[in-house]
Amino acid sequence: QGRLVESGGGLVQPGGSLRLSCAAAGFTLDYYAISWFRQVPGKPREGVSCLSSSGNAVYFADSVKGRATMSKDHAKNAVILQMNSLNTEDTGIYYCATQYRGSATESCLDGKGYDFWGQGTQVTVSR
């Protein structure tokens, strides 16, 4: 049974950076699109970014566009989300999810049709 494990969360000061990792176990990410979502208690889950299964396309939500990058670490069977210029609105639990043969378009942020979800990692942006 495949699973995803997120890591890299923690406390970050405003203006700082974070590097989140989503590692897959039990299956290879080669044929899967990977997306990041975040959620704050009491608010709807928000799609953050998507990397297509081909690895050639990335889509970012407007809230992080220009501040975030996604990349694959093939050696570790993982995907990295790098975010800079963090602000308090970036606080939340960050989840990664995979979609077989998925693309990186606006619809990838709706969270529908994903095969695996991780348990999440907490990111807190505060002084």
Q: Is the pLDDT score of 71 beyond 90? A: yes
Say which residue the tokens 């396309």 belong to. Answer: 57
Contact in structure between 70 and 84 (CB atoms under 8 Å): no
Q: Which helix (H) or strand (E) holds 7?
A: strand 3-7
Residue 103's pLDDT is: 86
Percentage of the chain beyond pLDDT 90 is 90
Percentage of the chain beyond pLDDT 70 is 100
Extract the tokens encoding 97.
Answer: 């999810």
* Ordered DSSP codes for 52-99: -TTSS-EEE-TTTTTTEEEEEEGGGTEEEEEE-S--GGG-EEEEEEEE
For residue 123, give the amino acid letter: V
Residue 124's pLDDT is: 98
